[in-house]
Amino acid sequence: MEVKAADDIEDAHSKSMLLERWPLAPVDLKRARFPCCIVWTPLPIVSWLAPFMGHLGICREDGTILDFSGSNFVSVDNFTFGAVARYIQLDRDQCCFPPHLSGHTCKNRYKHLERGTAISWDDALRSSTQHFQHHSYNLLTCNSHSFVANCLNRLAYSGSVSWNPLNIGALVLLRARWVDPTSVLRSFFPFAVVLALGIFMVGPPFLLGLASFSLLLFIWFVFGTYCVKNLVEW
């Protein structure tokens, strides 16, 4: 009875913490503040050839952007490759912040424990930042998508601890909002120029080469994420 009472008290405390969670400030485009958002911007050269590829960051509750931008380095409040072009705000109520093992709100308590748990949104981002400060950056195996996926797995966002660079990329591609029309232009204009020049100078074979490049990138990340364990970090 005493054990059950203690568990009830801890569960009540956990629920009260959720209720006490302060409301987020609205997205502030002028100050580049995106509370609890995933943010995206095009990558030089890579996005010119494959516009669906880009650089990701994830934001604290106060809107400050964190992004894994180089070996052993997570940038704070200085998005590495330029201004945010797209963003998607996530719901903190879909996260799991367990005060103890039996306090998980997700169904994958043991996998979540293995991935790493957190008591708040910012606590998860802090843990992932410390983790990636000991990782070497590699565009193909350990990149900004890996960092964001690690954060979401610590949060067990939407009940999942299987976030990876592919499904993170799909989430942003399908659901993220554009900041403004200029962001759309900044993201696609270089690709349009490269495409036009390639067709003019090379002809149809250029389209085949461009499609092959995108397909090879996709195959690599599928293979590295789902077929070979630990090849692509997440």
Please report, in tens digits, the pLDDT of each residue of the chain (234 residues total). 333 433 443 444 444 444 456 789 999 999 999 999 999 999 999 999 999 999 999 999 999 999 999 999 999 999 999 999 999 999 999 999 987 666 677 778 788 888 888 999 999 999 999 999 999 999 999 999 999 999 999 999 999 999 999 999 999 999 999 999 999 999 999 999 999 999 999 999 999 999 999 999 999 999 999 999 889 998
Query: Which amino acid makes up residue 106?
Result: C
User: Would you say 53 and 142 are in contact if contact means Cβ atoms under 8 Å apart?
Assistant: no
112-to-81, 118, 171 alpha-carbon distances in Å: 32, 10, 21
pLDDT at res. 90: 97
Task: Of 189, 217, 176, give the one whose Cα is nearest residue 53.
Answer: 217
pLDDT at res. 105: 73
Q: How far apart are the C-alpha atoms of 143 and 138, rounded to whole Å? A: 6
pLDDT at res. 20: 56
What stretches of 31-103 show up as alpha helix (H) in DSSP?
Answer: 46-49
SS3 156: coil
Q: How far apart are the C-alpha atoms of 153 and 156, rounded to whole Å? A: 5
pLDDT at res. 7: 42
